[in-house]
Structure 1
């Protein structure tokens, strides 16, 4: 959706917030930094910003990372994204490729910039000299598809000392097709408000989005203020100078000063949206938002979701309404994998005979999206089964934020069955995905809700885990015993497969089992989450490949690393991946049936 449309929609309601907000991120210098930033972007998007934007990486070996990141944020993370695009040293071919990539990913927002002049003082070799030229080109080629933002400088620009000329330039950018204004950072609210009066008097009617730079440390605050040549109020300098050597106090006082500036902006009537230059950090920005009471510390946005999973904003996936539950916590690999399934999204997860179906070599850096150093910080060096179990238990308790098979922290949805999950882990079964039984909760429920208003949501209890091969026959025998008590259909259905692809199941070849569904006024029953054979076998490949990659990170000659490799090799070679669904969700006995299997 276009930014101006989103902002109009957000503020054109009776209970509109006092302000909305958005975040800017810049392209990291390393591919590992990009992977870590994706996790931060995903996490910060749970604060409910209206959009994020990603700066243009102006050159070097990573020059295509801006478009890659925009595509990932739109398609994989489902985040409304604005792409920066500059003119300096940019050939028409590069600009065309960037615009096409943004268009193809579903991005509808561009911040059109001239860009900083070449560092060596030479003339730009780019096709366009000014941002107004770039705006005209975008409009000519794409019509009104893109919402185009333009930059503004309330306190002047280093290359133009005449403030009135800058306002004239801004008017030209509006007349060429600009749709909204994003300003340079500032700290003097009075100067900004006076500038707003001037541009409105000049006939500039575009929405004004002020650029807000939180204060993290005294040194970074002074460095950026000097670099941007902006006015810093005397009270900012006086209060921060006294505590400049204490970073914690600077951040706290900086939060207060910036927040009070934002309150003054909002009271002026010229703005109702704040754009935060995060510098790829989160704490300082969140502190300001909390000070302004624009978020709640433990905000949960599940009740705002149209499906139990965040939908991709890529237009090629706009019709997607169903996902296998196996990738509930692995949206990156799920989106990347299914992009190449020949019949997706119109077929049933593609043809298993397709050469694209089994490919799991994703993200160039493999399936574990952490460096070796980060992996050691998260999961240490487990040399015994008890230590391996402890990793899974710490994840369930929220003490570890991810597992090799889960990119995200444990969901509060799991709370009702956490103790039972911990119990089976202590018995040697490693749970990697689960959901409790739900029988008709309102769709507005803060934890489990999804879909339109005034509906009801349901889900069958689901459990997925790694099971020792020695225990698998007895486990499946118990399932058959329970099913024998019922005359119509299987109460418990399962799939069990090892790394060699040896499969056991009591489901039919083409069974598709909906494990989550919703009933809403005036619409058909929605069934967004399923369990079925073909996608489970594809997930199996990923699960066991992750174990191999995890094992490969311990590559020293030390005895300890050798013991870790031996333990993970056993997990790969001597365990089954098993999932179980309890289909009798309505009788209230799902917990006892499934967890009773492990007694």
Structure 2
């Protein structure tokens, strides 16, 4: 069934509705767990679900598989995202054909990330440039078969400073054949209310569904805001400040905030709302429960566990056991849900999965920040400047170093100057209070621990020397190293994740929010190396910078090291200190002489 028909039916019946968005997981076990999650969340009664599409079609096959499975196996009405940027017409035709064959009649037509190379022909002769072009192409190719949705931007599109022109472009998409609009996320209902008002004034009269983002954690919110350039009212930052290190409280606040938004918007007459789940379950369920749109989990009774068939007494026991099990699996991947989380999580990869590998900024901005490096030392200086705080971002780090890194900031800068290009790290912590301003996280009156960790790019010759040092060290180190081609070097064969951060809190089991494992590292390395080539693309193909950055991406290794003797807070640096003491002064002198540092 087409979603627009379901929307109109709900409006005729005066029935409020909701829908969920998912993204394709990065690992096979994550995909399996997503299917289980979709099946469970089906009981929450979404009017439809949609599945995102990776930049340039990078998740095309998996997106189609999820859409087809949700449609045929779980009986959910599905909508498939489809982008046109960097997509040939052949790819678009293949995707639309697969959607139709899988029973999907709904497409969310998007532009997608624009190509970094905007020269003529960069997109291909037959490629489409704008979402409006994609809408017209679908209508031309399939007539009225598909329901087509498009995206709206309550705060204006980040690439278009003219908000009125942005509205006209939305109207063009609707006039081209779009049936309804789903907005991007926002953090003040006034943005949505004003957006709808302005849409109606220029003749956009189709349904406009608000996109609701439940805040999951403080740093995740910061990343989302940086990517979308959203305005977050100061009252929200003020409310989060005293609880920002406690994910439980942040999630509770995020749920309550989403509930208040929906209640306020419902008074304006919205027909329903769309939740950006980021493949997470608990917040979506709690929002619907607090709005009294679904019964509480304990109140759903036998209909919720429809697979359970037994007598009443036994039924009650099995039902309660299932609720307990449900709550356990619901929280598997709640803290946190990014690359450092469990690779088996459906949410592994988190928000970044919705945008794909990209520098996110224009070539002009990137060249202004990073100049034109033509030798390894130039790149090393950029990484060192970032660690010292004089450069605000690198391709691998969109935010400044966390407060906990203050104690290792200078050591990280030194490592980079020696040729170990660091992109992730944490210091060892042995029992800091959970409210410690530098290391603390989680509920109050607890204690937190973490193993020292380093992740960096390293040349093959330096890798060999470092592995020899690890072998000779009396301390316990585990490491993974892999190049772009997938050649592995490692000193552990186990696939069991190595927990690197954990916390002990009153009345709770041990919480283990971050871990290192081979599956996660293997998944991340593809994106990590791709960013070298993305960076190279901002320079002329004949330039020394282009050649240098591609060479690093093609030949170097990505390595991580975990120091398992966490009470020894200096241990990991013993691998480098004798080098730092003897060489770093000379290195700094040379770079300062050349005005590079």
TM-score normalised over the length of structure 1: 0.50
How does the TM-score come out when normalised to structure 2?
A: 0.50
Could you say which structure has the larger radius of gyration?
1
Say which structure is richer in helix.
Answer: 2
